Amino acid sequence: MGRNLEDIDLKAFLFDMDGVLYDSMPNHAKAWVHAFKSLGLEFTDYDVYMREGMTGSSTISEVFASQLGRTATEEECQRIYKFKSQCFENLPQPPKMKDVEKVLSAIQAAQKEIFLVTGSGQLSLIDKLNHSFPGVFARERMVTAYDVKKGKPDPEPYLIGLKKGGLRPEQAIVVENAPLGVRSASSAGIFTIAVNTGILRDEELLKNGADLLYHSMEELYLDLPRILGVTKNLR
Ligand code: CA
């Protein structure tokens, strides 16, 4: 907290993927709730959104500990996560987040670089991104599950993103939607914009270190000229 837009020598935006580029969280929520329900365990949509970015094993272990009073075995974690993934795959492809293309285009027009920092480990991610957002993302400007050891909420993924771009924290802005993602970016010392595209209370994002908060990509898009104006031509 306490970072100022005025102190940013802006070179790049670092984007999270789920809930930012794609409106994929409703599907994740459906799949997790269904997977736990099949075991007789309580898990709400809100629980899913609060844990976004956590590994599957950590989520399963937490629910086992709180509701069954024991840890989940490795085998249980794998089986339940596999079932959740199958449920997710069976749902229709999530759409692009409304108005995100306008945001990306405006950033490109301002000649700022665009990086992706995601916990996703989908194999054909770059193909999918190139199909959805032609000419925006590149492999050398991406951090995925394969690049990290700890993942969000650790600052590691965003620190790796900065390193890939040869950037200092004060040269970038992060766009995130999840509490743990905001905490990761904020702990990496980067100015963090939260776009609350889901069902959580704003407070969940603000208390994890969001410097600015919007409720839609449209809102962010409308404020972008101000953000770019305040940060540019500083030094
Ligand atoms: Ca996200």
Span from the CA of 154 to the centroid of ligand 1 (angstroms): 14
* Each residue's pLDDT tens digit, 163-189: 999 999 999 999 999 999 999 999 999
Sketch out the chain's domains with CATH numbers: 5-24+94-231 (3.40.50.1000), 25-89 (1.10.150.240)
Span from the CA of 87 to the centroid of ligand 1 (angstroms): 19
How crowded is the C-beta side of 99, counted as CA atoms within 13 Å?
11
Looking up tokens 């899913």 gives: 48
Looking up tokens 């007789």 gives: 40
Cβ atoms of residues 78 and 72 within 8 Å:
no
* Each residue's pLDDT tens digit, 124-170: 889 999 999 999 999 999 999 889 988 899 999 999 999 999 999 99
Span from the CA of 34 to the centroid of ligand 1 (angstroms): 20
pTM for this prediction = 0.93
Span from the CA of 233 to the centroid of ligand 1 (angstroms): 31
Mean pLDDT (the chain, rounded)? 94
For position 87, what pLDDT does the model report?
96
Span from the CA of 168 to the centroid of ligand 1 (angstroms): 23
d(CA 193, CA 1): 11
